[in-house]
Structure 1
Amino acid sequence: MRILYALLLYMFPIIGFAQISLTDFNQNFNSNPKTIIIYFYTDWCGICKIQEKQLYNRPEIMKVLNDQSYFLKINGESKEPIQFLNSQFLVENFSENHSFVRAFFEEKSISYPLWIILDKDLNVLGKYEGLIKIKEFKKLLSQLN
């Protein structure tokens, strides 16, 4: 029983504070527009794993991400088409990065994690590459409100 309890406590931040799916986002955005925070990661990115652990272990940050914005977590090297509102982004064989990533970041060399912040009108408010420390992340979120 103790093992089950410990496992639930360990997993609670991940289960309790999940990002919104693209499908739910696409269905909800027009009726309830708000800031969009897109977090691009890759499966091999060690810094991404550190960033996620830092975020998921901070319920106050995840609450702001989920309550006051649409928080989208997307694999930047996905091999699947991505539907973002009324636009479809396809995989291009000549690039490691998905065309959806390159829609926001045209550089040939992209560092992950990559954060894109859009306002309600889909204007880019900010682009951030690499690890964002928790103190800076909190400051960034406070500026979005």
Structure 2
Amino acid sequence: MKLLLPLFLLLLSVPATAQIEWLSWEEAVARSQKEPRKMMVDVYTDWCGWCKRMDKTAFVDPEVVAYVNEHFYPVKLDAEQRDPITFDGHEFTYDATLSRRGVHTLAVALLDGRMSYPSIVYLDDEQKRITISPGFKEPAALLRELTYVGGDHFKRQTYQDYVDSLSK
């Protein structure tokens, strides 16, 4: 028992790893209506290896976590989920006929039918698409992308010009 108490106290003193505060689509839209903020939608599938790798690398990086939680309403959207989502007067549903495995029509709409996983879709505070970013990203690359969108740099310059300006 004497050994357990110090071990328990040590565990309590170690700070918990910061995590992205993922929201459902509905929660993010509701929050954005009360306090406008951009949305970052991670479109993934359960079988996607690169999606799982991003979850274990980029999405747990302390700088990425802090930036996302401060500047975005983050949403994880399973592109093959079965639950309907009502948004902007339209019901989006799972459609088994759209691909071999079936796909959710909100994912199709967000990705313009280019179903690639993982993909991040950035939306403005009125849920209008800013850009689609397909593919796996290391933490540093994702952070550059997040600051480009979160800092409204996309309104003034291309992404490549933004990246080039960071190295000057």
TM range (shorter): 0.7 to 0.9
**Alignment CA distance shift 1:26-1:122 (3 Å):** closer
Match of 1:104 among 110, 117, 124: 110
Pair 1:20-2:26 in alignment: no
Cα deviations by residue, 1:31-61 (Å, 9 ceiling, x for unpaired): 2111111001111111001011113431221
With normalisation by structure 1, the TM-score equals 0.81
Pair 1:72-2:112 in alignment: no
How many aligned residue pairs are there?
140
The answer as to whether partners of 1:26 and 1:85 remain within 8 angstroms in 2 is no
Which amino acid in 2 is paired with 1:61? V
Q: Which residue of 2 aligns with 1:88?
A: 91
Which amino acid in 2 is paired with 1:122? Q
Pair 1:54-2:60 in alignment: no
Which amino acid in 2 is paired with 1:97? V
**Alignment CA distance shift 1:32-1:76 (3 Å):** same
With normalisation by structure 2, the TM-score equals 0.71
Which amino acid in 1 is paired with 2:70? D
Higher mean displacement: 80-89 or 125-134: 80-89
SS at structure 2 position matched to 1:71: strand
Q: Which residue of 1 aligns with 2:41?
A: 38
Structure 1: state its 5+ residue gaps.
Answer: none
Report the Cα offset of residue 98 of structure 1: 0.8
SS at structure 2 position matched to 1:112: coil
Structure 2: state its 5+ residue gaps.
Answer: 152-168
Report the Cα offset of residue 85 of structure 1: 5.5
Q: Could you tell me how far apart the structure 2 residues matched to 1:112 and 1:90 are?
A: 19
SS at structure 2 position matched to 1:122: coil
The answer as to whether partners of 1:20 and 1:66 remain within 8 angstroms in 2 is no
Over alpha carbons, which structure has the higher Rg? 2
- Percent identity at matched positions? 22
Q: Could you tell me how far apart the structure 2 residues matched to 1:138 and 1:39 are?
A: 14
Which amino acid in 2 is paired with 1:124? R
The answer as to whether partners of 1:22 and 1:83 remain within 8 angstroms in 2 is no
Q: Could you tell me how far apart the structure 1 residues matched to 2:17 and 2:86 are?
A: 27
